Amino acid sequence: MNKRAFLIVLALLVFVVPALAQEATPETTPTEIAPWVCPEGFEGQTLSVYNWSTYVAEDTIPNFEEACGVTVEYSVYGSNEEMLARLSQGNPGYDIIVPADYMIATMIGRDMLQPLDKANIPNAANLSEALADPDYDPGNVYSLPYQWGTMGIGYNITETGEEITSWDQVFNYDGPVAWVDEPRAMFGFALGVLGLDPNSSNPDDIAAARDFLIEHGGNVVAIAADDGQALLARGDVDIAIEYSGDIFQIGVDCECEDYQYALPEPRARLWVDNMAIPYDAPNKPLAEAFIDYILHPQVNADISNFTAYASPVQPAIDANLILPEYLTNPAVYPDPDVLATAFFTLALPEVEQVYGDAWDEVKILLGR
């Protein structure tokens, strides 16, 4: 499925799902789903998972350990680039990683992933149509979706005094701001503001975006590694470029309406995080059992309900397992008009170093 077709199908998915949720009443009872059953033969084994922080429900890992009689070693990283750098130095023993779409393509190109045995992952059939057979991994040979969503702006409206609806407001804000330490995301936003392709491979465009970020970085007090929401919650910043679910989670924790999330104009960023197995993973069979477990409707719904990200598992939606307030929220399931202008970060190996060097320049000149 090409990128345009993917966005069209995804837009239809996002349009239909909230409409179905709006028809649901508070009395709607979720369909009972048979619990996941672990295949035999894994008792006493260990699985090493390398994932983003705050990205599983509280019982996701303990339930898997109990079901299979195994131990899970769970480590976290703060960016795709951090994860790639760690594995490029040699895999210390990770069986499962959860890269974003463009990083999957990058790692496939570097022979860092091994093909999945779908016979061991029957729940792969649960994927929503829009998320199957993506450009970054045709046929889902090396990866299967975990969660999907957006990256935009989290802000404390009590401090900003107004809604944030554009990137211009962020880059020109008179107060403390946190960026995210993801170069391709930050350059994509800057390129979008400049009216350029967020996935440009033109060195002149990249240089222009670099200069824009440097010129508009005077309000930046931190470049955060996937913890901008913590800076926002502590009051260190008024605005943080972050993932939607991270902002939702601090709003739930404070039981307040101070923390808002926006997909600013002119362009938002969409992403799909995926489960994959490094080429030298020590326990591929148990890793495939874990992927199958995550794609179980109830398990994936529990993760989505905890993280406030969108589920890629269609039966989780069809069985009313996702909280209606998330299904109807355009910050979780974006409106079609937002999707029409949104961009995915694409793998650009020919200018990967150019982006990396330009980002280093930005951080050095900003002193971050």
Which two three-digit tokens encode residue 206? 């990249």
- Is pLDDT at 15 greater than 70 in this prediction? no
pLDDT of 4: 42
Residue pLDDT, tens place only, 58-110 = 999 999 999 999 999 999 998 899 999 999 999 999 999 999 999 999 999 99
- Whole-number average pLDDT of the chain: 90
- The C-alpha atoms of residue 75 and residue 68 are separated, in whole angstroms, by 20
pLDDT in tens, 244-261: 888 888 887 888 889 999
Q: What pLDDT, on a 0 to 100 scale, did the predictor assign at position 368?
A: 80
Please write the tens of the pLDDT for every residue from 279-323: 999 999 999 999 999 999 999 999 999 999 999 999 999 999 999
| Per-residue confidence band for 28, with pLDDT thresholds at 50, 70 and 90 | low
pTM of the model: 0.83
Whether residue 202 is predicted with pLDDT greater than 70 in this model: the reply is yes
For residue 178, pLDDT beyond 50: yes
Task: Check whether 3 has a pLDDT greater than 70.
Answer: no
- Predicted local distance difference test score (pLDDT) of residue 251: 82
Give the span between the Cα atoms of 223 and 309, in whole angstroms.
Answer: 23
Any residues with CB less than 8 A from the CB of 189 and at least 6 apart, and which?
A: 167, 198, 241, 267, 269
User: What are 120-166's pLDDT values in tens digits?
Assistant: 999 999 999 888 889 999 999 999 999 999 999 999 999 999 999 99
Rounded to the nearest angstrom, the gap between the alpha carbon of residue 362 and the centroid of all alpha carbons in its chain is: 24
Query: Which pLDDT score, from 0 to 100, does residue 25 have?
Result: 41
Give me the mean pLDDT over the 231-241 stretch.
96
Question: Alpha-carbon dihedral of residues 14, 20, 26, 28, nearest 10 degrees?
Answer: -120
Q: Domains in the chain and their CATH numbers?
A: 3-149+272-334 (3.40.190.10), 150-270+341-366 (3.40.190.10)
